Amino acid sequence: MLYRILTVRRHKKVTFCDAYSFRDYRQQLAFYHDQLDCDGLTIGCTAELTCHAGKNNRGQDVWYVDVIHQIIQPGNITSYKGFQKDCTVETEMAQDINGGIHLRRQRFRLQFLRELRSLLEAKGLFETHTPITSQYRGTSIASPVRANGCYTGQRYIKITHELGLKMQCYLLLEPVYEIGYVMRDRYATKNGMNEFLTLEAVLPQGCWMDIGVLYQEILQLSCRLAKELELEYDPIFDELRVLDANEVYMESHESFSREAYLACYEKLVEENPHCIVYNAPLESPLGIAGVNGLVMETKWLMNGHGFGHGYPDEYRAAILRKTFVSQQEKLFNMGIQSNLPEDYLRVCEYAGIPTFSFNLGLDRYLNCFFGEKLE
């Protein structure tokens, strides 16, 4: 197997390295010193190795090196493409490591986020950042979550950008957005992480936009970048349907009925696995209801999974306080003390205005775009 050495850490008996391979992506290698010739192992070198899986003294997964077949320094050969082997499989693997799917996916991700920011800013939105100011905060009833990453060892209720963004929108009267990670207690990736990269945005009254058009532009951006980088994506994304649930309902109904509308909507999304739906019904105490009494949203769906949605809302302080108190009581019964976000509630009491909020789960969308199944 071919590896690219990323880090080198020498200990008394063993040298540990973080290494990259096409098959195993990134893992830790362990070399015994009697296997190495002086300083032959350096960062950036290419190593052809035979390894076996094991665990170190801390119980962490490590690949122990059995045989070092060859170590090539960057000065002698700078890319995996130049590492020729008799075995066809190894040659294809070497080519893929150097310019293959992992590297191209990373380039896609960086370029996608760069152009997404440009797209949002061209529409008049301002990027901002909302620090986590309280250990327990959130707008939906949720149990505490033990978070990973930079929040290791601390517990949070569903962390969302929405509170901080709305506060800034209330005070500045400017459309704002943030691209960053949120926590989810009910959702986790296959590796157990509950951190998800998302786009959240809040627009003041008068700045509302057609979120369905934005979602289509994001899809077009994704398809273009994938083709430029020669990355395959799920062909169903070339078949996006844009539907208006209200128009579909009116085609077969002469009068409005809440129950009939909900049933019509459920049938509509069942028959259209990948779609953007206007006038989708939404259950939200903070949403602004339309003439029929329902809160309507624009929603991007894929096989029952929601990528993102947007709807007009108004954060009424009395409803928010009741929700936060309910969360606080649930936490107290679990032995957890938490405080209400009084500063935010005061802003809602004195400066709350109707807004339009929308989001897009970037990790969820990109995973599905490249054909990975969502759990």
> Could you tell me if 118 and 145 lie in one domain?
yes
> Could you tell me if 226 and 252 lie in one domain?
yes
Give me the pLDDT at residue 373, please.
62
**Strand 25-32 vs strand 145-146: parallel, antiparallel, or unpaired?**
unpaired
Q: What is the CATH number of the domain that holds 267?
A: 3.30.930.10
> Could you tell me if 344 and 208 lie in one domain?
yes
Cα(88)–Cα(5) distance, integer angstroms: 23
Most confident of 74-88, 119-133, 264-278, 344-358: 264-278
Cα(356)–Cα(314) distance, integer angstroms: 8
Range of the domain at 300: 104-369
**For 55-70, what is each residue's pLDDT tens digit?**
877 777 888 999 888 8
**Average pLDDT in the 137-144 region?**
38
> Could you tell me if 229 and 323 lie in one domain?
yes
Judge contact between 15 and 42, C-beta under 8 A: no
> Could you tell me if 356 and 336 lie in one domain?
yes
Give me the pLDDT at residue 25, please.
65
Higher per-residue confidence, 55 vs 84: 55
Most confident of 36-40, 42-46, 118-122: 118-122
As a 3-state breakdown, the chain gives helix, strand, coil percent values, each rounded to 5, of: 35, 30, 35
Q: Is residue 375 part of a domain?
A: no
Cα(369)–Cα(105) distance, integer angstroms: 12
> How many other C-beta atoms can be found within 10 angstroms of the C-beta atom of residue 364?
21
Cα(324)–Cα(106) distance, integer angstroms: 39
Q: Which residue pairs from 30-33 have beta carbons closer than 8 angstroms and sit at least 24 positions apart in sequence?
A: 30/54, 30/56, 30/62, 30/63, 30/64, 30/65, 31/65, 31/68, 32/65
Q: Identify the three-state secondary structure at position 277.
A: strand
Counting the structural domains of the chain, the total is: 2
> Could you tell me if 202 and 254 lie in one domain?
yes
Q: What is the CATH number of the domain that holds 44?
A: 2.40.50
Query: Which residues have C-beta within 8 Å of that of residue 83, sequence separation ≥ 6?
Result: 2, 46, 48, 72, 77, 94
**For 208-223, what is each residue's pLDDT tens digit?**
889 999 999 999 999 9
